[in-house]
């Protein structure tokens, strides 16, 4: 259900029940906006030098607008309500000391050139643990969806796993933050 701003009332006008109901509906929407937080339930192998879609087939911590299905298109978060959203992606790759780089992208409607959060290069700590934390805001139409892609390259040319950490990732989120309309 889209957000509907209540009509402006004139000074001295009598507030009607319909207007009060529209205010309540708007407040109810703002108290529980469209949002989801999904995770993966196991490791996922990422081939050497191949952009790979992350699959989020694990837990849905919350999904207030039927934005994700672990069974149907589990790689997607679909926007049923148009608006401006904050999107995040967090994951860790398995530890190794031979990564050239690891990067991730969040794309709209499965178009790699439609990156909404491009080039999220991993920070790799002294122990060889690549960690990716991406976030950004983007305006979506109802029916748009997002997917996350991971790319890794290492000097031994082998596949590496996105780690599974119970309750900690990988995690993909989208939260409605406004209509995105000009005021």
Q: What is the pLDDT of residue 69?
A: 93
Interatomic CA distance for residues 48 and 82, integer angstroms: 36
Q: Is the pLDDT of residue 1 over 80?
A: no
Q: What is the pLDDT of residue 50?
A: 93
Q: What is the pLDDT of residue 130?
A: 86
pLDDT tens track for 75-112 = 999 999 999 999 999 999 998 888 888 889 899 998 77
Which residue in this structure is represented by tokens 């319909």?
Answer: 18
Q: What is the pLDDT of residue 24?
A: 85
Within-domain flag for 15: no
Least confident range of 44-48, 97-101, 160-164, 176-180: 97-101
Q: 160: how many CB neighbours lie within 10 A of its CB?
A: 24
Q: Is the pLDDT of residue 28 over 90?
A: no
| Domain assignment of residue 56, given as a range | 35-178
Please state the domain count of the chain: 1
For range 138-150, the mean pLDDT: 95
In this prediction the pTM is: 0.88
Within-domain flag for 89: yes
Longest dimension (CA), the chain: 75
> DSSP letter at 100?
E
Contact 151, 93 (CB under 8 A): no
Q: What is the pLDDT of residue 12?
A: 80
Q: What is the pLDDT of residue 126?
A: 74
CA-wise closest residue to 65 among 84, 79, 52, 55: 79
pLDDT band at 16 (very low <50, low <70, confident <90, very high): confident
Contact 116, 167 (CB under 8 A): no
Within-domain flag for 152: yes
Q: Is the pLDDT of residue 183 over 60?
A: no
pLDDT tens track for 41-77 = 899 999 999 999 999 987 889 999 999 998 999 999 9
pLDDT tens track for 123-142 = 777 777 888 889 999 999 99
Kindly report the CATH number assigned to the domain that includes residue 161.
Answer: 2.60.120.40
Interatomic CA distance for residues 159 and 94, integer angstroms: 10
Please, what's the b/e burial string for 103-137 (b: 16 or more CB within 10 A of its CB; e: otherwise)? bbbbbbeeeeeeebbeebebebeeeebbebebeee
Helix (H) or strand (E) holding 18: helix 17-31
Within-domain flag for 97: yes
Q: What is the pLDDT of residue 80?
A: 97
Q: What is the pLDDT of residue 112?
A: 72
Q: What is the pLDDT of residue 54?
A: 95
């Amino acid at each position: 259900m889209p957000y509907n701003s209540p009509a402006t009332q004139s000074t001295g006008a009598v507030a009607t029940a319909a207007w009060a109901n529209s205010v309540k509906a708007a407040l109810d929407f703002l108290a529980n906006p469209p949002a989801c937080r999904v995770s993966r339930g196991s490791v996922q192998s990422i081939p050497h030098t191949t952009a790979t879609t992350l699959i989020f087939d694990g837990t849905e911590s919350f999904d207030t607008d039927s934005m994700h299905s672990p069974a149907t298109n589990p790689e997607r978060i679909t926007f049923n309500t148009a608006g401006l959203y904050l999107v995040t992606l967090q994951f860790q790759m398995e530890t190794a000391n031979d990564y050239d780089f690891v990067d991730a992208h969040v794309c709209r409607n499965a178009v790699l050139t439609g990156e909404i959060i491009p080039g999220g290069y991993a920070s790799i700590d002294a122990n060889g643990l690549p960690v990716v934390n991406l976030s950004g805001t983007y305006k979506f139409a109802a029916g748009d969806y997002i997917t996350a892609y991971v790319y890794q390259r290492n000097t031994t040319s082998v596949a590496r796993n996105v780690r599974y950490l119970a309750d900690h990732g990988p995690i993909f989120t989208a939260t409605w933050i406004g209509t995105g309309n000009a005021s």
